[in-house]
Structure 1
Amino acid sequence: MAGNARAVVFIHGLWLHPSSWAPWLELFEQAGYRPVAPGWPGVADTVEAARADPGAIADHGIDDVVAHYAGIIAELPGSPVVVGHSFGGMIAEKLLGQERAAAAVAIDAAQIKGVLPLPLSALRATFPVFSNPANRHRAVSLTEKQFRFAFGNAVSEEESDALYEKWTIPAPGKPLFEAAAANLSANSPAKVDTGNEQRGPLLLMTGGRDHTVPESITRATAKQYRHSSAVTDLHEFPDRGHSLTIDSGWREVADTALDWLAKQGL
């Protein structure tokens, strides 16, 4: 890899360990990038260690995560591309709006301030957190059945269970509570500078069978960027669910991101 290769920062979402990006890191390195996948604040280096210490992950909110990744980006040579999934997609959007990244790919990105649709499937997917208000300050784990609905509904039950066993970790409830209240707060952490004319290009990806971040949320997110002339593209994978970055079809999603970056001159 060339010494001046552009960095790509991969940002995981809730319930997945950063090591779940491993196949993407290899592919992007082969494509000439310098990829890294740091975890959220408090996330241990391995899945097993993260499961063993959920308290270290708990009570980190959106602003904490943005500041964490902004600090990582500040240490990189040049402006990176950021690629995020789920809440990591929202974080990627915020970093792009703050002009901390050259471009962003937001995959099934969590709902930002201003997005109004709230499909029933999204409520069901996040019920394990919202079922108890005290979970705002806790880390919450999913059961295999809950993961199957929220992530693995578009793959076989066998594959969903294997993904659950390999990659899932507890997740802080705080970001979900913050996003849920976003439209009631002028200064919500879920607010993104969607009107920024100077930011780099953004690709929003959506899975047509996603229960956690349904297509309607991603399309409503795209509309939030209508007042900016900066590039905002939308790509749908009609038959994919929320596990699209880690399941057996991950390569199609990754190749789509690489092709789009090439078209942006990145």
Structure 2
Amino acid sequence: MSRPRSRPVVFIHGLGMHSSSWSPWLELFDAEGYQVSAPGWPGDGETPEATRINSESLNNRGIAEVTDHYAEIISELPMPPVVIGHSIGGLIAQKLLGTGFASGCVAIAPAQFKGVLTLPAVRPRSMLSVVGRPWLRTKTWSHTADTYHRAFANGISRVESDRLFADYAIPAPGLPLFQAGLANVMPRSEAAVDTRSERGPLLMFAGGLDRTVPEATVRSAYRIQRRNPAVTELVVLADRGHCMTADHGWRELGDTALEFLAGNLPAGPGET
């Protein structure tokens, strides 16, 4: 693999996982010459523990606010970065790519955007416990160790699931779940993505065991995104669940993303 140019890479976490879960990715991409960062969402604490203690700071944080937060961070960088996002973070990463804030994108098990019609037939009980309670729209919610393993980390052992839950799980705002879930019936949905504008390369990952954003949902998004003339690729990992960015198999995704970027990312201003 050729050594990439010194391009910024911004990692965006999804619901219920702290940005510190990207630490192995930061080390990997830093070693390959990228300038890396993993800023938290507005309202996140510096650590998972701090976020759990002050969960009210995440109340009523929606997709547009979080996207604007990352856009502001990106505007301070020397050039448009690659954005790598997971779950709702993958949706936000695609929004940033479509509006010109990113030079390339890796969307891992990305939540559905407006226009994606293939949705899970049966949502996990943990998700129904949120979207089935309208009052949680402006509040936060949290996985338990049981729901985390059942819906988020079902593709790994309970022992590993419990370790990830203890190390990285944080409360999550309910609003993005409602926004993504109702995107197709809302005229001005914050979960809309510009898939037609000129953009950089996009790599999407889907997990065959994913119960939170099933493979079929990611494939539906990919069918829309591949209409864009830019490079768009889909990688399906049949034996992986939703926690694939943080579990023992994360390196397979990291190496695949590096290879994709090395082969498809165009040179930016001042790069050689």
TM-score, length of structure 2 as denominator length: 0.94
The alignment partner of 1:245 has SS state of coil
Mark the CA change 1:262 to 1:122 in structure 2 (over 3 Å): closer, same or farther. Answer: farther
Structure 2 gaps of 5+ residues are: 267-272
1:257 is displaced (CA, Å) by 0.6
Aligned to 2:100: 99
Q: Is the 8 A contact 2:124 2:151 kept in 1?
A: no
Deviation sequence 1:38-66 (CA, Å, 0-9, x none)? 00010010110000011001110000001
Contact 2:126 2:143 in 1 (8 A): no
The equivalent of 2:56 in structure 1 is 55
Counterpart of 1:245, as a letter, is: T
1:55-134 aligned at under 5 Å gives the runs: 55-134=56-135
- Using the alignment, how far apart are the partners of 1:86 and 1:53 within structure 2? 23
Further displaced range: 127-136 or 248-257: 127-136
- Distance, in Å, in 1 between the alignment partners of 2:204 and 2:125 is 23
Residue 123 of structure 1, CA deviation: 4.5
Partner of 2:229: 229
* Equivalent residue, structure 1, for 2:213: 213
1:158 is the counterpart of 2:175: no
Question: Structure 1: which 5+ residue stretches go unaligned?
Answer: none
1:144 aligns with 2:172: no
Q: What amino acid is aligned across from residue 25 of structure 1 in structure 2? A: L
Instruction: Name the SS for the 2:78 alignment partner.
Output: coil
- Per-residue displacement from partner, 1:3-61 (whole Å, max 9, x unpaired)? x7210000000000001000000000000000100000100101100000110011100
Whether the 8 Å CA contact 1:122–1:214 is kept in 2: the answer is: no
What SS does structure 1 have at the residue aligned with 2:170? Answer: coil
Partner SS state of residue 122, structure 1: coil
What value does the CA root-mean-square deviation take over the aligned residues? 1.3
How many residue pairs were aligned? 263
Change (3 A) 1:182 1:265: closer
Partners of 1:218 and 1:118 in 2: how far apart?
A: 9
1: CA distance, partners of 2:47 / 2:213: 26
Q: Structure 1 length normalisation: TM-score?
A: 0.96
Structure 1 Cα separation of the partners of residues 265 and 15 of structure 2: 31
For residues 82-105 of structure 1, give each alpha carbon's deviation from its aligned partner in whole angstroms, at most 9, with x where no partner exists.
000000000000000001100000
